[in-house]
Structure 1
Amino acid sequence: MSAPIQNQVSLMDLEPAADDLTREVLHSLGETPHRLSCRFFYDETGAKLFSKICNLKEYYLTRTELQIMNEYLGEIRHCVGPKAAIIEFGSGSGQKTELLLESLERPWCYAPVDISREQLVELAERMSARFPDLWVQPVCADYNTPFNLDGIIEADARRIVYFPGSTIGNLVPEQAITMLRRMKGLVGDRGAILLGLDLAKSREIIEPAYNDSEGLTAAFNLNALKHVNRVTGTDFNVSAFEHRAIYRPEQYRVEMHLISSANQTVRINGQCIRLEKGNHIVTEYSYKYPLEVFDRLLATAGLRRIRTWFDRNRWFSLQFIQSSACP
C-alpha cells in the first residue's frame, strides 16, 4: 500500500450550515440551564487564544501530555505499528501530532478533523510540507457528528484515531460513550484509539487551569458569544457577561459558565430570549475521571485499555484503546 502523490492539500468540507447552527443555538439557549456548544470557542480568534492558553503556567494539560509523549514515544510507536492512517479529532495547532508523526514507522495518511477552517488548512499545509511522503486529508467538520472516510482511507489501512488533550472530557458521560462507539466503528477491529485523558486531582491544581491570572480563558469563553453573533446573527452584548469556571469533584468535572451581569434580551432568528442578571450559560464541561470510572465508559462502548502511560505526578494519562473483541 502506497500513499498517492499529493501536490496540494484538498479540504473535505463538512462544516455545518449557518441555518443548522442557528437552530442549535435556539435549542440550547432554551434549555435549563442555558447552554452553548463548546464548538463556538473555535473560530480563528478562539483557536489563537487556545494556543496561548496551552502555554500558560496554570494550564498543565498540554505540557503534561507532551511530557508523556516524549518519554514513551518508542512504546507508542510500537503499539501503533507501521503504515498507519492517523485520524485526529480536534487537531488544533498540531504540536503533539507533529511529534507523533515524526516517531511513527512510515505513516500512510494523516486526516485532521477540526471545525476551525483557517487553522485546519494552515495545519494541513504545514504537515504536507513537513512530511512530503505522507498523504494529508483535512476534514472541516464537527467531530461530534458522524462522518465517513471510506473514500479517503484504503480499506486495508490500520486506522488510529488520535484524540489528545482530554477533549473526550468535554462530553457528558452518555455523549462520551456515543463518541467512543463512533470511534470504534471508524477504526474497526484492526484499528485503535490513542486518547489523552486528564485525571481526577485536587481543586488547587484544576481550578487555576480554567481561571488563569492573565484572563486568557475568560477572553476565550467570551469570544464564543462573538462567534455566535457572527455566524447566526444573534445580538449578544458580550460586555454584559462574565467568565466563571467551577470544579465540582463529586461530578468529576469543571464547568465553564458565562454569567449575565444585567437583565437583557437576546434576539436570534426573529425570536427573543430573556436573560436575567445572574443567569448562567454553560459553555463547556471538562471531566476529570478516575481511571476506574473511565474504564466503565470504555466497557460500555465495547472497548478496553491496552496500554496506559502517565506523567510523573499521575495527573494525566495517554491511553491506547482497542475493541474488547481484540485478543
Structure 2
Amino acid sequence: MNSPLKHPKLALAPASPQFIDQYQQTAPGRAPAAAVELAEGLNAASATVAPKYFYDTLGSQLFEAITRLDEYYPTRTEAGIFDAASGDFAATLAGAGIGQPCLIDLGAGSCAKATRLIPHLQPRQYVPIDISVDFLREAAEQVQSTFPALDIVGVGMDFSAGLALPPQVQRDNRVFFYPGSSLGNFSPVEAQAFLQRLADPAQGAARGLLLGIDLVKDKATLEAAYDDSLGVTAAFNKNVLRHVNTLLGSDFDVHQWRHMALFNEAESRIEMHLQALHNLTVRWPGGERRFRGGERIHTESSCKYTVASMSALLRRAGFKQVSYWTDPKDWFAVFWASA
C-alpha cells in the first residue's frame, strides 16, 4: 500500500517594505524638469550642476565606497557618536514625549546610519527617502530582512524640491533624521529655508529633527576628505557628467575633466569642481556650452558649521529645544532639535 502523500509545509514569505516612487512616477514631467535645471546650470556665468545629480546607482555606490576611505572621517566619526550616544537619543525622545517615532530618513542611501539607531529608537515606522530610487529600493529590502517586523515605507523623491509625503507615512510622532552633514550642501540661506519647512506643523505633526553636521576644522583635513589618494572621490565627481548625459542628452567626455576640491575659508565650505583640461564644447538637444581650458563646473558645496552657528540656525528656522553631542576631537556633531 502506497503511503499517503504529505503536503509540504508552506514557507511564509518574508515581509517586504512598501515602496512609493514619487520621483519616477512623474517621469513624463520629471525628465524635462531635470533637463531644464541642468541646462540652466550649465549656461550660467559660472557653470554649476546640483549635487543631487551625483546619485544615480553608480554614484550611490561610489559614495558608499568614499565613506570607507581613511581620509573620509565624517561617516566613521558620526557613527562613533551614534554608538556612544544612542541611549541618550532614545532618552531625549522619551523626555519629549515621543514614543515609537515615525523615523523619516532624508537621503537614506544604504540606510546604514538608521540601521544603527533603529534598535535604540524603536520606531513604529521607518521611512527612508532618497533620489537614487533603485539603490534605495535594495537598501530598504536589506533593512526589512534585518528588522522583519518593522513597518517600512521607502519613498523615492527629490525632497530638496518639496516634502509632500505619501499618505502611507504616519502623521504622528514624525522625527526627521538627516545625517551625514548633507545639510551642508545647501547654502546657509537655503539651509534655513529647508529647516523651516521641516519645523512647519504643516509637514504633519513633526516632533523633531536628529541632524548630523560636520564642524569647522583645519584645511588640510577637510580637503583630504574630498580628494582622497585612491581617486574614489574624483570618480564620484566625474560620474555626475555621465548622469547629466543621461538626463540632458549631453555629450560630456569624463576624460576631458579633472576633479578639484578646495576649502573656501571665507564661506566656510568645501567646494568640489570639475575643471576642463582644454578648450572644449559640450552639446545637448537645444543648446551647447563652450568651456575654456581651466574653466570649472561647480558640483558641490559642503558648508561647515560650529556648534554655536548651527544651534542659532536651528532656532532661526523655528526649532525650540536644541541639544547636541560631539566626538572627542569636536570634529562632528549630532543635534537634536524639537519642533
What TM-score does the superposition give when structure 2 sets the normalisation length? 0.89
Question: Which amino acid is the alignment partner of residue 66 of structure 1?
Answer: A
Residue 183 of structure 1 is matched in structure 2 by 198
1:174 aligns to 2:193 (yes or no): no
Structure 1 distance, partners of 2:312, 2:90, is: 27
Q: Deviation of residue 248 (structure 1)?
A: 1.4
Question: Which amino acid is the alignment partner of residue 182 of structure 1?
Answer: R
Q: Does structure 2 conserve the Cα–Cα contact (< 8 Å) formed by 1:247 and 1:254? A: yes
Q: Deviation of residue 141 (structure 1)?
A: 0.8
The structure 1 residue matched to 2:281, chosen from 259, 265, 279, is: 265
The alignment of Structure 1 onto Structure 2 pairs a total of residues equal to 316
Identity %: 34
3-state SS of paired residue (1:11): strand
Structure 1 distance, partners of 2:113, 2:134, is: 19
Q: Deviation of residue 10 (structure 1)?
A: 3.0
1:47 aligns to 2:60 (yes or no): yes
Structure 2 distance, partners of 1:53, 1:101, is: 24
Q: Does structure 2 conserve the Cα–Cα contact (< 8 Å) formed by 1:295 and 1:305? A: no
The structure 2 residue matched to 1:30, chosen from 18, 43, 52, is: 43
Residue 104 of structure 2 is matched in structure 1 by 87
3-state SS of paired residue (2:278): coil
Change (3 A) 1:190 1:213: closer
The structure 2 residue matched to 1:165, chosen from 180, 196, 207, is: 180
1:13 aligns to 2:29 (yes or no): no
Q: Deviation of residue 214 (structure 1)?
A: 0.3
1:316 aligns to 2:332 (yes or no): yes
Q: Structure 2, unaligned stretches of length 5 or more? A: 1-13
Structure 2 distance, partners of 1:14, 1:306, is: 32
Q: Does structure 2 conserve the Cα–Cα contact (< 8 Å) formed by 1:159 and 1:187? A: no
Structure 1 distance, partners of 2:130, 2:205, is: 25
Which is greater in Rg?
Answer: 2
3-state SS of paired residue (1:72): helix
Q: Structure 1, unaligned stretches of length 5 or more? A: 1-5
Q: Deviation of residue 304 (structure 1)?
A: 4.1
Alignment of 1:132-281 (within 5 A): 132-149=148-165, 151-155=167-171, 157-185=172-200, 191-281=207-297
Q: What does the per-residue CA deviation read over 1:90-133, in whole Å, with 9 as the maximum and x for residues that have no partner?
A: 0011111101112123x111111101112100111111222122
Q: Does structure 2 conserve the Cα–Cα contact (< 8 Å) formed by 1:161 and 1:187? A: no
Q: Deviation of residue 177 (structure 1)?
A: 0.8
Question: Which amino acid is the alignment partner of residue 322 of structure 2?
Answer: I
Structure 2 distance, partners of 1:237, 1:276, is: 15
Structure 1 distance, partners of 2:206, 2:234, is: 42
Residue 3 of structure 1 is matched in structure 2 by none
1:60 aligns to 2:73 (yes or no): yes
Off by >3 Å, runs of 4+ in structure 1: 186-190
Q: Deviation of residue 204 (structure 1)?
A: 1.9
